[in-house]
Amino acid sequence: MRLAQKRALVARWREEYGFPERLLAAFMAVPRERFIDASLSDEAYGDYPLPIGGGQTISQPTTVMLMTHFLAPEPDSRVLEVGAGSGYQAAVLSRLVPEGKVISVEYDAGLAETARRNLRAADAENVEVVVGDGGDGLPDRAPFDRIIVTCACPKVPGPLVAQLAEGGALVAPVSGLLGETMVRLTKEGGKVKKERLGLFSFVPLRGRHGSDG
């Protein structure tokens, strides 16, 4: 049942978005049911967000996959995620960077612990979860080839742009009147280029670079 639902999502994405096979394989390899409460496991492959505690949600599978596609990590990329939440997005990314690393910053210490536990249960290696205000990035660990923000920010936090490596890409949902516009920044020759990739809906960024900061 669950496997059939999972395969149906993959078939839809292949047809609708033409996602590369390695991205689809990463999705197939990660058990989403390990990243949500056991009482919700029958809903693991429904294409909608699910609660993960603390008023936060795990994004719907299509959103996770589209963001990962926009980010386009390479096998050796060093990836920074802002908002570990359940750890699911980090687990998908870790499959795509077998020779690289994913460092995920989480504001809520309790959720960070949950993410670590879920990542261990799902055998996701090369992921490190750090507690902190991800809007500040991790200056000591920079630069990053890829940066992904999984909560809505009023604007892309400056420290993250500064910590993006040359040739790197950053994907973030930026709040506006109608919801969040997915934005991709790329850095080439020291210049930052911005693209808008469509409307989404996200829980807000907290801390210094959030709307209440």
Q: What SS3 string covers 42-80?
A: HHCCCCCCEEEECCEEECCHHHHHHHHHHHCCCCCCEEE
With residues binned 3-state (H G I as helix, E B as strand, rest as coil), the percentages for the chain, rounded to 5, are 35, 30, 35
The rounded distance, in Å, linking the Cα atoms of 75 and 10 is: 21
The rounded distance, in Å, linking the Cα atoms of 120 and 66 is: 25
The phi, psi pair for 29, rounded to 5°, reads -80, -20
Q: Minimum CB separation from ligand SAH for residue 23, in Å? A: 16
Identify which range of 72-80, 164-172, 187-195, 200-208 contacts ligand SAH by CB under 6 A.
Answer: 200-208
Q: Where are the beta strands (DSSP E) in the chain?
A: 50-53, 56-58, 78-82, 101-106, 127-131, 144-149, 164-176, 179-188, 191-200
Q: Which of 23, 67, 82, 119 binds ligand SAH (CB under 6 A)?
A: 82
Contact between 32 and ligand SAH by CB under 6 A: the answer reads: no
Contact between 58 and ligand SAH by CB under 6 A: the answer reads: yes
> By C-beta, is 91 or 185 nearer to ligand SAH?
91
Contact between 108 and ligand SAH by CB under 6 A: the answer reads: yes
Contact between 151 and ligand SAH by CB under 6 A: the answer reads: yes
Contact between 49 and ligand SAH by CB under 6 A: the answer reads: no
Q: Minimum CB separation from ligand SAH for residue 213, in Å? A: 8
The angle at the Cα of 55, spanning 53 to 59, to the nearest 5 degrees, equals: 80
- The yes-or-no answer on residue 175 being catalytic is no
User: What is the size of the binding site for ligand SAH (CB under 6 A)?
Assistant: 26
Contact between 86 and ligand SAH by CB under 6 A: the answer reads: yes
Where does this chain bind ligand SAH (CB under 6 A)?
A: 52, 56-59, 82-83, 85-86, 88-89, 105-108, 111, 133-135, 150-151, 203, 205-207, 210
